[in-house]
């Protein structure tokens, strides 16, 4: 029998302090200071600040105050809009983070995926997302989808001693495992680390906007230098010559363009959210807006994931309660399948101790449980059971 003891809360805290939270690169909270520096580094905003400095040097308090107010307004809009977008992306990331059933201080409880620590004992069942790299100690017909790591869509069976990898979906079965890797120490973390250096390419609209701004920027720089040279040639001072040049440069470059682009993308995402479409990255709004016909291959149906046992048809001479009790013994003790949940809700938990679990196998498939007293309950396709 494998060791199915878990960590204590104190041991888990020490493990988390040593290994860090179970997060892959890019999941952490973005820096507000870094965001502010990105906003302040906009070339058009730097040009405005330069003009503001010239007004201050010339003693034009009224013009400096008015331009300073405009600069602060542009900074505030860009900062708030970009910050709101990044906050939404982080919220989606936390929403997508898997929760794990861990054994702490001898009690099974649900924990956030980021709080899973190395050495934790976790339970995996059909429909779960594996929260970390796990070495399986016990597995019953456990199969996972590793397509996010390998690109292969075939279900991968897991036996005791095999590893289930972080982020993969459990397709069938259940089992227990010990966490052996978290965060960047997982295979998913290694994949994320290798992708960190890849910069996302700009969308066609972003590329066109950058070309436009770059062309206007060169034109503005040339106009600024021409105005300064003309003023110097006419005998004006450096500041007096520089101010018209910078003013002309700022007039040529649309400093509102980054703000307008962000606001329009945010408005598009908001309109899509009213139609129950979540936009994870704002540039995706541009691609969605260019679509005239969208074909979707939808498998399955959207349901409540519940089943209802409408009728029980026992064989002649067999009581309904006897049939329900046999069906309950053939179900998993802690089922994920909605049909098994409904059977246990009608019949109650089986009496006795589960001695052996025969997982789903064979063609056609069947499965069974051996209970104390030598009671074997089997279910599956009729020809498989027979």
Q: What is the DSSP letter of 25?
A: T
Active site residues: 297
What pLDDT does 198 receive? 67
Whether residue 364 is preceded by a cis peptide bond, meaning omega within 30 degrees of 0, is: yes
Q: CB within 8 A of 46, min separation 6: which ones?
A: 40
Task: List the single range of 50-64, 201-215, 251-265 with lowest mean pLDDT.
Answer: 251-265
**pLDDT band with cut points at 50, 70 and 90 for residue 284:** confident
pLDDT in tens, 76-101: 766 776 666 666 656 655 544 578 89
Token pair in block for residue 191 = 């994949």
Query: What would the CATH number be for the domain defined by 99-195?
Result: 2.70.150.10
Average pLDDT over residues 52-56: 70
Higher pLDDT, 323 or 200: 323
pTM as predicted:
0.52
Tell me the average pLDDT of the chain. Answer: 78
Cβ(95)–Cβ(80) below 8 Å = no
Helices in the chain by DSSP H: which ranges? 9-19, 32-40, 43-58, 61-96, 147-150, 187-195, 204-233, 238-252, 257-274, 284-289, 320-330, 338-347, 382-385
**Residues of 137-154 as b/e, b for ≥16 C-beta within 10 angstroms?**
bbbbbbbbbbeebeeeee
Q: d(Cα 251, Cα 229) in Å, to the nearest integer?
A: 18
- Check whether 307 has a pLDDT greater than 90: no
Q: d(Cα 22, Cα 186) in Å, to the nearest integer?
A: 9
Give me the percent of the chain exceeding a pLDDT of 70.
73
- Check whether 344 has a pLDDT greater than 80: yes
Q: What is the DSSP letter of 98?
A: P
- Check whether 117 has a pLDDT greater than 70: yes
Higher pLDDT, 183 or 35: 183
Q: Of 340, 357, 25, 368, whose CA–CA distance to 176 is shortest?
A: 357
pLDDT in tens, 133-162: 999 998 888 889 888 888 777 788 898 999
Give me the percent of the chain exceeding a pLDDT of 90.
16
CATH 2.70.150.10 residue ranges for the chain: 99-195
């Amino acid at each position: 029998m494998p060791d199915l003891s878990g960590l204590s809360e104190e041991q888990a805290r020490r493990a988390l302090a040593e290994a860090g939270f179970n997060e892959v690169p890019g999941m952490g909270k973005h820096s507000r200071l870094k965001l502010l520096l990105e906003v302040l580094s906009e070339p058009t905003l730097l040009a405005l600040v330069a003009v503001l400095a010239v007004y201050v040097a010339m003693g034009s308090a009224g013009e400096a105050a008015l331009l300073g107010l405009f600069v602060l307004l542009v900074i505030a809009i860009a900062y708030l809009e970009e910050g709101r977008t990044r906050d939404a992306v982080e919220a989606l990331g936390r929403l997508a983070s898997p929760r794990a059933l861990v054994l702490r201080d001898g009690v099974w409880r649900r924990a956030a995926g980021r709080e899973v620590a190395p050495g934790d004992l976790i339970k995996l069942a059909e429909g779960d997302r594996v929260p970390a790299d796990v070495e399986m100690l016990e597995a019953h017909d456990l199969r996972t989808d590793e397509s996010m790591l390998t690109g292969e869509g075939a279900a991968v069976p897991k036996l005791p001693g095999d590893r289930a990898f972080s982020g993969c979906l459990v397709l069938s079965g259940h089992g227990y495992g010990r966490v052996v890797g978290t965060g960047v120490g997982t295979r998913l973390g290694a994949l994320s680390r290798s992708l960190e250096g890849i910069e996302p390419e700009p969308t066609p609209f972003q590329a066109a906007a950058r070309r436009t701004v770059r062309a206007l920027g060169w034109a503005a720089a040339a106009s600024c230098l021409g105005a300064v040279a003309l003023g110097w040639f006419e005998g004006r001072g450096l500041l007096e010559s520089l101010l018209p040049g910078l003013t002309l440069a700022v007039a040529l470059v649309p400093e509102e363009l980054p703000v307008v682009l962000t606001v329009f993308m945010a408005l598009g995402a908001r309109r899509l959210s009213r139609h129950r479409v979540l936009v994870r990255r704002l540039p995706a709004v541009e691609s969605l807006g260019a679509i005239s016909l969208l074909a979707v291959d939808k498998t399955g149906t959207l349901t409540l994931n519940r089943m209802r046992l409408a009728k029980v048809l026992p064989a002649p001479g067999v009581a309904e309660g006897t049939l329900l009790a046999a069906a309950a013994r053939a179900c998993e003790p802690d089922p994920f399948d909605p049909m098994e949940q409904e059977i246990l809700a009608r019949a109650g938990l089986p009496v006795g101790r589960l001695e052996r679990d025969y997982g789903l196998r064979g063609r056609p498939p069947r499965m069974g449980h051996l209970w104390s007293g030598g009671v074997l309950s089997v279910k599956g396709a009729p020809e498989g059971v027979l």
